[in-house]
Structure 1
Amino acid sequence: MKQTSISIGGRQNVNPKEVIRLQADINYTRVFLADGKKILVATTLKEIEIRFSAFPKFVRINKSVIINIDCIKYINDEQIIFQNGETLTPSRRRKKAFFAIYHH
């Protein structure tokens, strides 16, 4: 049976399909959802990355952000543009790996 929710800290669970991105905030992580909600959890991004590792659509693009590639609208040379209009820039170090995953 396919997992439909992931524990993100405490008693909070999210459906991975609803997550746009995960962003580090010191020892906390901000979870940005497709419906516009934001959840702050007392879990590090490193721990969240481990929990989301079963979902290959989640990719770390820099030291503080993991994104859901299903939420990308398009990509130009330097930026990732999401369906909700937000933009992010992958780090130089992670850019090549990100594009390799995204274009598969």
Structure 2
Amino acid sequence: MKIQKIQIGGRMSIEPEKVVLLKANQNYTELYLYNGRMLMVATTLKILEQRFLLTNTFYRLDRAHMVNLSYINNYEAQTGKVIMQNQQEVSISRRRRHGFYSFINEHFNPFNILLK
């Protein structure tokens, strides 16, 4: 099932599978795309979070970052960092770590290996 385009601001919309990372920048949001481009939209991360969470492939790691779990290259449980395929590192807030690991285990763990 293909997800429809998501409205990101003004007359712009985007296919969610093209977005790697969303980063808050005051009242703007920077969208980092899989092809290396970056878009800045005049929509807050809180509003975009509500739209992107409907896809079940995005997770908000802290106050300023939301990632597409399909583009995670690695995550370090000891340091609480996620490394994306575009080599950006994002720290997971302490309060969201347990929820992140639970979400990963439930939705993105094909071998049912318990991740900590």
- TM-score by length of structure 2 reads 0.84
Equivalent residue number for residue 13 of structure 1: 13
The CA distance in 2 between the partners of 1:97 and 1:25, in whole Å, is 24
The CA distance in 1 between the partners of 2:57 and 2:83, in whole Å, is 16
Any gaps of 5 or more consecutive residues in structure 2?
Answer: 107-116
Equivalent residue number for residue 114 of structure 2: none
List structure 1 runs of 4+ shifted beyond 2 angstroms. Answer: 1-4
Equivalent residue number for residue 41 of structure 1: 41
Identity %: 36
The C-alpha deviation readout for 1:69-99, integer Å capped at 9, x for no partner, is 0000111122111112221110001111111
Say whether residues 1:25 and 2:41 are aligned partners. no
Any gaps of 5 or more consecutive residues in structure 1?
Answer: none
- TM-score by length of structure 1 reads 0.93
1:31 Cα offset (Å): 0.6
The C-alpha deviation readout for 1:25-45, integer Å capped at 9, x for no partner, is 111111110001111100011
CA-based RMSD of the aligned residues comes to 1.2
Say whether residues 1:4 and 2:27 are aligned partners. no
Secondary structure of 1:17 counterpart: helix
Please say which structure displays the higher CA radius of gyration: 2
